[in-house]
Structure 1
Amino acid sequence: GALGLPKVPPDTVPDAGDFLWGLPAAALIAVIVSMAHGLGERTHRWTSARGTAVRTVVCAVAAGVCLTAYALLTGRSPEEAALSGQTTLGQLAENPHGWSVLALVALVLCKALAWGISLGSLRGGPIFPAVLLGVATGLACAGLPGLGTAPAFALGISAAATVATGLPLTSCVLAVLLLGRDAYNQMPLLVLAAVTALLVSRLRASRRPRPAPADVQDTSL
């Protein structure tokens, strides 16, 4: 289908090492995506309080600074962190080894900050930016002994989409659609990564301070 990636990392069957490192990686992805969502909520409350136009401009400048920082740190195009994530996701799928760990970490940090700010003040899609963060985090962890590139890529989709949607089954289906036939061998890891991400995100949500009553009516993104 049109949603599928034209090229994905070579398929492998996950082994014990993939599960050993994959589940903590899924938990880390859940923390990163939920923190970006939290930043979006706080930014939304801040821009809605007063001086909306001025504060929105400040947020736009801050997002631009994040993208500039990514370009300066990596020497790569800021578009990789600026766009929704579909194009960069395809680039990661086609050539995952063409990105250094530093570039992947910079992408995660700068994209998460820019996306979180945009969610609360400008515009930001809820799914593919999260998936990009998940895949980039997974591939950054793929350097760990025993965690393969294909499993890391797959679990990144499943875990991040679960946090973004709150729907682990739907997130696994999205991963299958993106990966195509290569998703077959990754299914056990996809499911466990989705469940892990859901549990971690729910745990973080339960510990998050509730907004003041005056803010409750205006927290939607």
Structure 2
Amino acid sequence: MTKSDYTQLSVYNGSDEAVEVYVTFAAQNSQNKCCPTPCGLSDFPFLTKVNQLMGKFTLDSKATQNFDPKGKCFSGNIGFYIEPQCPVPDAGFHHGETGTNIAEFTLNPNIPCAEAIDISCVNGVNCFIEMKVDADAGWAYGSDNTPITTIYNRGLQENSGNPGVYPVNCTDCIRLVGAKPCPSLPLGPAQTERICNVQRSERGGTVQVNLVVPVPM
């Protein structure tokens, strides 16, 4: 992993085919004291513009693309195959039959704000994402600050008890707040504790977002 005094991000395609990768950026917001002017499309010229806050690129099989924010706050999400959305009629698994999951992150926010990562299955699951971080780098989750180096989503209703992951339609981790984001999908089961976010106060190293092929059970 890359070593520096700020945090970088990489995306790896562990599948056997090239995939489209979608990157959604947080908007500029002067009221956000942690990350008022985050990175955007112009910071990564290899992206093709989808809209003002989203770009995409094609990642070859077994290839890695590095994102170097050069110390700027980098906040947003990564999705694979299609734009993040609820189920697409008549779609297969990877193209959104049961919605889409994303890897979410906020890196290099203003001190004392914490860095944070998670995998959101709120809008469903269309692939298996793993996020890996450096060991002994301060990443932890839950009320007991349990150290962790890898998070990974499972199937649509298999993420309860799985740290770093928001279950389907569980907008508040342990429950749904408001209307279902994806009405055609089931609710949860939710987490029983607030373990959906992984955070740290340190900076440096690389957060890896990996598209993985799960081992058959």
Larger Rg: 1
Q: Which structure features the higher share of strand residues?
A: 2
Structure 1 length normalisation: TM-score?
Answer: 0.32
Task: Give the alignment's TM-score, normalised by structure 2.
Answer: 0.32
